[in-house]
Structure 1
Amino acid sequence: MINRVVLVGRLTRDVDLRYTSSGAAVGTFSIAVNRQFTNANGDREADFINCVIWRKSAENFANFTKKGSLVGVDGRLQTRNYENQQGQRVYVTEVVVDNFSLLESRTTTEQRQGDGASQNFNNNQSNGSQQSGFTSPQQSGNPSAANNTQADPFANNGQAIDISDDDLPF
């Protein structure tokens, strides 16, 4: 049987990091994941997925992410239930995170926090080329990276390339 979940989205709030009585770290957070389609008004909706992460991974995740950080998580879906103080049965479905990836740099996250997370988040949603958080060398403002093009090593200035059968490995 297979129970794998892979999500890419933005944190809706800072990670809530707590410790169990035995000293194990546990972090809870939710991720906003855009849907692939738009609604009748042409707006793209999002799903808000609850996640939990344990031990050292929880501490690292909490230290390196903030509200609005673009992250990828890999884990398994888990359901559980409990009885609340009013005696009602509460059902919870969440992703138990095994691995995570930070999909944007820390400076990008901090810059977005300074510029206003909601404004930049909405701009990223409308501009599909910037949604991943990666920029091309021309966009990064690094001219040496943009000029780092090399000649095609397989080009022979329009001439046929002469290779004998002895040169081939098969």
Structure 2
Amino acid sequence: MSGINKVILVGHLGKDPEVRHLDGGVTVASFPLATSESYNKDGRKIEQTEWHNIVMWRGLADIASKYLQKGKLVYIEGKLRTRSFEDKEGHKKYTTEVVAENFTMLGRKSDFENENGEGSHQSKPENGIAKEDLPMNYDKDTAADDDLPF
């Protein structure tokens, strides 16, 4: 039996995605994600924030680069990967990242319009739930270059 490597996070982007284009045209986007938990200790509410390094590849990275911004709330599913690299002084360093397999933008659709204003505004129907209030889902297997979340 093989093991399971699954991560589920809901948090806020710590900064805009950093996008790079590798040889062969492969796109990679990375950004920090903050998750917060609160608990009571001695009658005081304590909030603890953890920072996670998120990496997205190919079509998923393209979508993230267009619509994710610092402060936005997202749901991310992925797996942990640890890799090593050498720093400028030649010392071997290790980092653990969450390689995203899919994500859902949480909040109103208008919260995720890009700087070009792409995305549409719709009025709420009689039932009070507008399409723009629903989450937008993306995964690495279905995210194509021409996918638009709206």
Report the RMSD for the aligned CA atoms in angstroms.
2.2
Higher relative contact order, chain-length normalized (CA < 8 Å, sep 6+): 2
Aligned to 1:163: none
Q: Is residue 85 of structure 1 aligned with residue 111 of structure 2? A: no
Q: Is residue 102 of structure 1 aligned with residue 97 of structure 2? A: no
Deviations 1:130-164 (A, max 9, x none): xxxxxxxxxxxx69446xxxxxxxxxxxxxxxxxx
Deviations 1:65-109 (A, max 9, x none): 111111011110000111112021111000000111111123235
Q: Could you say what secondary structure the match of 2:23 adopts? A: coil
Q: Tell me, in whole angstroms, the C-alpha distance in 2 between the residues paired with 1:3 and 1:78.
A: 9
Identity %: 33
Structure whose residues are more often strand by fraction: 2
Aligned to 1:33: 35
Q: Could you say what secondary structure the match of 1:107 adopts? A: helix
- Aligned match of 1:3 in 2, 5, 19? 5
Aligned to 1:24: 26
Q: Tell me, in whole angstroms, the C-alpha distance in 1 between the residues paired with 2:98 and 2:41.
A: 26
Q: Could you say what secondary structure the match of 2:25 adopts? A: coil
Instruction: Point out the structure with max Rg over C-alpha.
Output: 1
Q: CA deviation at 1:36?
A: 4.5
Query: Is the 1:38–1:45 contact (alpha carbons within 8 Å) kept by the matching residues of 2?
Result: no
Cα distance change, pair 61–144 in 1 and its aligned pair in 2 (3 A): same
Q: Tell me, in whole angstroms, the C-alpha distance in 2 between the residues paired with 1:70 and 1:85.
A: 34
Query: Is the 2:38–2:45 contact (alpha carbons within 8 Å) kept by the matching residues of 1?
Result: no
Structure whose residues are more often helix by fraction: 1
Deviating above 3 A after TM superposition, structure 1's stretches of 4 or more consecutive aligned residues are: 38-41, 142-146
Q: Is residue 64 of structure 1 aligned with residue 67 of structure 2? A: yes
> What TM-score, normalized by structure 1, do the two folds share?
0.61
Q: CA deviation at 1:37?
A: 2.5
Number of equivalenced pairs: 116
AA matched with 1:46: T
Deviations 1:5-31 (A, max 9, x none): 010001010001110022100000111
Q: Tell me, in whole angstroms, the C-alpha distance in 2 between the residues paired with 1:104 and 1:54.
A: 23
Deviations 1:91-129 (A, max 9, x none): 10000001111111232357xxxxxxxxxxxxxxxxxxx
